[in-house]
Amino acid sequence: MWQSLKVESVDVTFGHRLWWVDAFIGDNERGNPAVVVLLEHPLADDELQRIAFELGVSETAFVRRVGDQWSLRWFTPTVEVELCGHATLATLHVLLNELNAPGGEFYFATRAGVLSGRRLGKGLLGVDLPRAYLEPLNPSVLNDTLGVVHEIYQAGPSSVLAIVEDYDTLCGLSVDPMSLFLVPSSIVIAACHGGPDVDVSIRVFAPRLGLAEDPVTGSAMCAVAPWWVEKVGSPTVTVRQASTRGGVMYARLFEKNVEVAGLARTFFSGEIRQ
């Protein structure tokens, strides 16, 4: 399989190299940093967590070639997570633009199952993430941490999607991480219709994962895309994340997955010395 794809040409003999990649950038958006670490050989979980803590970005992706796929794991500075969109996009960017790995479709073995990614037009990269199925919740579950919400949904086992009044309300949210920590969900997505040049705007809070507010969250599209289809009927949606860094994402809903697309750039590269 690898011989037919000529993947043996990808050089993985130099040690644990790394790339700092800003994912989901835009004209005025700096995106979300992820550090992609190319592993020469497996490392123990505590060593991976120590490296992620040392790097200090919202997500560190550890990628290693295994058979005809790439093993991919994601760590915040404090915990390993089940799914991360922006670090998957950053990993795809590294394989395509830094390692020049051949092949039109890339497959990643992860805790969330096998994910795939590819190059799209106009510089965009796309990754397939598992779609979430929405179940209405009582707004009281948020304990007023987001103020008045118009709709609230459980979005998969670990996310909550809450719809606020408008873009100004979204940007004006002042969230206490400790209060939000009491909400029984790892990720809380606040969203609204509209925003500058987009269909939907969001902010994402994840204090249980060690992130008071995430700069740009690709995995949030797993919930936002199904919600948008339900409300508007369109399978495609353009989303702005209204964080300090800012980000732009494009999503397209399919039966079992959401293709999440965006732009990425390498900020710097180096090598881990242990």
Mind telling me the catalytic residues? 59
What are the Cα distances from residue 267, in Å, to 32, 39, 98, 145, 242? Answer: 11, 20, 12, 35, 21
Q: Which of 189, 191, 180 is nearest to 143 (CA)?
A: 180
For residue 163, CA distances in Å to 142, 154, 201, 212 come to 12, 12, 10, 19
The Cα–Cα gap between 120 and 104 comes to: 10
Nearest Cα to 130, choosing from 62, 219, 61, 59?
219
> What is the distance between the alpha carbons of residues 128 and 107, in angstroms, rounded to a whole number?
10
- 42 three-class SS: coil
Would strands 187-193 and 159-163 be described as parallel, antiparallel, or unpaired? parallel
H or E stretch at 2: helix 2-5
Q: What 8-state DSSP symbol labels residue 149?
A: -
Q: How far apart, in Å, do the first and last CA atoms of the chain sit? A: 33
